[in-house]
Amino acid sequence: MQAMKLSPEIATLIPYKPGKPIAETQREYGIQHVIKLASNENPLGTSPKVVQSLQKALTQQHRYPDPSFFELLEAVAKKWNVSKSRLSVGNGSNEIIDLLIRIFCEPGDQILTTDKAFVAYAVCAQAARVGRIHSPLAPGYKLDLQAMTKILLEDSRAERVRLVFIPNPNNPTGTYTPDSEVQKFLQQFGNDPNRLIVFDEAYTEYVRAKDYQSALSHMDKYSSVVVIRTLSKAYGLAGLRVGILAAQPEVIDYYNRVRNPFNVNDLAQVAAVAALQDDEFIRRSVENNSQGLDYFYSELKKMQIPFVESQANFVMFDTLREVSKVNEALLKRGVILRPVLNYGFKTEMRMSVGLPEENRTAIQALKEVFAEIKES
């Protein structure tokens, strides 16, 4: 067959690589007991209140879902104190990222984000034939809004930047941007009609830093602010796919015109309403996470393994070894973590917080693997 005619952007696209599934690892390595700390999922599972609501809704699945998300938007508006006219929903926040790029960028336009930012921004932009500018990081893998400012003011491509993506906190580094820096940036760019400033707050519930604040609080003052949240992490609904978009009504209007009318299925909507009302589940999830992170920090310190302090539900650390070998040795022991080579890191890995016993198993496996494989 002759080679298909394709745009070079599509021909060279490297898709987002999700964490290795448990069943695949069981099959490939012939082992039963596998733990997965590779996709920043909620280790507490699905909230019992969500399960109850889903069971009730199961007999109604011959109906199309509500394309206006009436009940779900009520629940979000109440919980986050944002008017419904400023809200919409996506099939995971990944769909929202994809749609924002399709709606607000034309081929040849640019998105601006940071080096080592969550990779979906660049993948979705490339798929839409949109350019990617990555600003350099500050020391400690911190997002550097001054570097972004410099690009927006001085780089010749800045004129075509339609969307700025600020993951706060970021994945895979777990670092965050303090509110004072966000405010300074918004004073300069927060009301510029030429572009939107998108804050991706997938991990906001887990943040412990005192000087962090959600950008939802800046939406009244700055019209360019867009906030994306997900119910895949602390709310425990990764399998059902629910992301929330908060922005000015005009942005929401365009988003609703372009999205598929049934982009979020009925069970997902039902589950999301129940999850948003289950404060106790969030409290337990956040508590488990804080304890798990502290445990990881103390064990990694004992092993003299450098790590980046995280505001999310995972920690990135430097194996100081060839990461593919470390990964293979971990998989043989039934432990799935995440190498982050696709972010341009060479020896680093990311480990999600699990249940206490899963965390202990992962640390034990790392100790064995580090003893087995020499530093490179």
* Binding site residues, ligand PLP, CB under 6 A: 40, 92-94, 118, 167, 171, 200, 202, 230, 232, 238, 243
Q: How many CB atoms lie within 10 A of CB 262?
A: 12
Q: Residue 47's beta-bridge partner residues?
A: none
Minimum Å distance from CB 176 to ligand PLP?
11
Q: How many CB atoms lie within 10 A of CB 303?
A: 15
* C-beta of 65 vs 333, nearer to ligand PLP: 65
Are 243 and 43 spatial neighbours (Cβ–Cβ below 8 Å)?
no
* C-beta of 213 vs 311, nearer to ligand PLP: 311
How far apart CA 169 and CA 190 sit, in angstroms, is 19
How far apart CA 143 and CA 335 sit, in angstroms, is 30
User: Any idea what DSSP says for residue 203?
Assistant: T
Minimum Å distance from CB 168 to ligand PLP?
9
Minimum Å distance from CB 17 to ligand PLP?
12
User: Which residue number is nearest to ligand PLP in terms of Cβ?
Assistant: 92
Minimum Å distance from CB 18 to ligand PLP?
9
- Strand, helix or coil at 165? strand
* C-beta of 40 vs 263, nearer to ligand PLP: 40
Q: For the chain, how far is it from start to end, CA to CA, in angstroms? A: 44
Minimum Å distance from CB 202 to ligand PLP?
4
* C-beta of 143 vs 329, nearer to ligand PLP: 143
* C-beta of 100 vs 202, nearer to ligand PLP: 202
* C-beta of 36 vs 160, nearer to ligand PLP: 36
Tell me the torsion sign for CA atoms 274, 226, 44, 265: positive
Minimum Å distance from CB 55 to ligand PLP?
23
How far apart CA 146 and CA 27 sit, in angstroms, is 48
- Strand, helix or coil at 15? coil
